[in-house]
Amino acid sequence: MIRAIVSAAFVLTLSLSATAQDRAVSGRGAVLRGLDKVNGQTQDIEVPQGGRAELFGLTIDLADCRYPADNPSGDAFAFLTILDTGQTEVRFQGWMIASSPALNALDHSRYDVWVLRCITS
């Protein structure tokens, strides 16, 4: 519940501020990192804008990845939908922020996913 409120406040802040919208640019995709908490294995994947990828036992859809126009390597944020592969129940849906992955995180007993950066070129 708290994550939903914080995420909604973040999105509302961005949508209300014209200058924030002007300075945020959509990338061509996102680079995500996944962690299997059982065996400690990590894996990085690239997901194209509007695309889908599988990481460990998860299916990840990327709706958008945005970054500051004046600092492409800066704080990226991506809108993700994450499901267990082969299931229909959504495990996570919302904005993940690269610099604060715990602010709005996937709640899964085995896997963790976070945004590293947007694909800019």
Residue with tokens 């409120």: 5
Among residues 94, 61, 96, the alpha carbon closest in space to that of 75 is found at 96
Six-digit token pair at 6?
């914080």
- For residue 90, count other CB atoms closer than 10 A to its CB: 12
Separation between Cα atoms, residue 80 and residue 115, nearest integer Å: 9
Q: Which pTM value belongs to this model?
A: 0.77
Element (H, E) at 7: helix 2-16
Expressed as residue numbers, the domain containing 20 is 2-119
Separation between Cα atoms, residue 91 and residue 2, nearest integer Å: 16
Length of the chain: 121
**Mean pLDDT score of the chain:** 83
pLDDT of residue 27: 84
Separation between Cα atoms, residue 118 and residue 29, nearest integer Å: 6
Q: How far from chain centre, in Å, is Cα 57?
A: 17
Write out pLDDT tens, residues 67-112.
988 877 778 999 999 999 888 899 999 999 888 888 888 888 899 9
Separation between Cα atoms, residue 104 and residue 6, nearest integer Å: 8
**Number of structural domains found in the chain:** 1
